[in-house]
A and B are shown apart, each in its own frame.
Chain A
Amino acid sequence: MSSSKRSTIIVEHLRKQQMWDAISKGKRLDERNLDEIRPIEIELDTIKKANGSARVKLGNSEVIAGVKVETGEPFEGLENKGALILSAEILPTASPYVEPGPPDEDTIELARVVDRGIRESEMIDLERLVLVPGKTVYTIFVDCSIINADGNLFDATSFAAVSALASSKIPVFEMQDGKVIDTGNTQRPPVTTLPVSITAVRIADSVILDPTAEEEACMDARITITTNSNGDFTAIQKGSTGAFKVEQLKTAAGIARIKGENVRAKLQELIKAG
């Protein structure tokens, strides 16, 4: 990913002025308003082999999330909770600048921020996914593959992970003679809330929502804010090498609640229908 950053340096300087001009007039290079999110396309159950899955397109960014459920030992210190493990990978298909290999820090941050939004909102009531306290629990894997990258991978990945989890039908396991048995039945996971992540970036003095890759190349600072169904904040992450004024952060937080509610309504409708 570092190579992609370097190759955009010249473009960045040329485009930055153009982008500033447009944004100062309240429009973006792709004609969107400053607070406009690109069209969101969600397809549930794309991967039949998974216990739950979703393909999300946010503009040209595209992510597939798959849920797989197994049993295993609980995490240390969380003996009476099921385990939730989220991963994200930016596939080499996603852009000319991605090279195969171990995850770089951007990818690690992406997975951890998406995970934080889901974990801290307690979206899944993990206490209801215990078979033998302290010994055997449900282990839910949510694996996210970014297949095309055009900016705002945080929100695209979060939408995909949440949709896949909320619409999943996980196996019903039971204990028989000290062994785990797959009953062959399925159940809905215990979903308590739908976390929605909204990302904004600052370019010069303007804060814009849902940046494209080109806008991210010109951004000064980024902020990702996750809200739950009550409209409360459950995870926040500031990113990139610039800073924010306090008022910009408070305004962004307010916008994330409103925009998050719109996206949540859309997710809810889809999941009900599916």
Chain B
Amino acid sequence: MNQVRNLIDEKGKRTDGRTVDELRGIKITVGRIKNADGSALIEFGNNKIVVAVYGPREVHPKHMALPDRCVLRCRYHMSPFSTDTRKNPAPSRREIEISKVMRESLEPALILEDYPRSAIDVFVEVLQADGGSRCAGITAASVALADAGINMRDIVAACAAGKVDDKIVIDINDTEDKEGGADMPVAYMPHLEQVTLLQLDGVLTQDQFNECLDKAIGGCKMVYEIQRQSLIEKYFGSEMELKEEQ
């Protein structure tokens, strides 16, 4: 990769003023879509992504149904206005791949055996894209699944780490993704301590890979706290206020 400018300045600040171990601002609003069984809107840096979960419900087409478990279906889609140049609304190969890895990163956390012959649909719509949209999407999707009351083993939190100016940083932004050296999205179940998504674009040595993986998981743990808070706020927010009043 050709680096035209330094992405980390001499004070260790990144292009958006963050340190190497700092996440962008994250806000999760639970239950944003009234018609959905579960939903969440995530604002992750400049990403704006809305996720709606429908199900468990009857499977259409019927031949997709499984006798012993529920079918999880996932659609990651970018709105035409979400990017600098208009995105063709037809699903791209990139979106099909992301839909697949997203489904595979969520599935280990769900107890699908509890809902045989049914389907759960997860719709992830990127309204505004800013690098790291798959991680933000997975993060919001697992909150939406919890909001839908689906039986879960754990929550899935996602965060990327990568290499920028030969330093390992967490939560790569758009500029760092395009101009930096490596991008490694990771999804992690914090209680089961297992990795459910791991991808890498770019060059890392073995030591850098180990560091990247550890730092990404550290990021996932921070993301998890925000997921947890957002759910508490929706389901226990008023009770907590009541307790404080008493």
Contact = CB atoms under 8 A, between A and B. Distances in A.
A105 interface: yes
Contact of A121 (B94, B96, B203): B203
A106 B101 CA distance: 10
Contacts of B85: 76
A245 B188 CA distance: 10
B107 A112 contact: no
Interface stretch (B3-11, B16-24, B193-201): B193-201
B157 to A, nearest CB: 13
A142 B214 CA distance: 36
A121 B64 CA distance: 39
Interface stretch (B33-41, B114-122, B144-152, B204-212): B204-212
A243 B192 contact: yes
Given A241-B108, A243-B196, A228 B203 contact: yes
A238 interface: yes
Contacts of B101: 109, 237-239
Contacts, number: 96
A244 interface: yes
B206 A239 contact: no
Interface stretch (A161-169, A206-214, A250-258): A250-258
Contacts of B104: 238-241
A222 to B, nearest CB: 9
B201 to A, nearest CB: 5
Contacts of B160: none
A249 B198 contact: yes
Contact of B195 (A105, A111, A231, A243): A243
9 contacts: A120-B203, A231-B205, A233-B200, A233-B205, A236-B184, A238-B198, A241-B107, A242-B108, A246-B195
Interface of B: 64, 66, 68, 85, 93-94, 96-97, 99-101, 103-104, 107-108, 184, 189, 192-206, 209-210, 213-214, 217
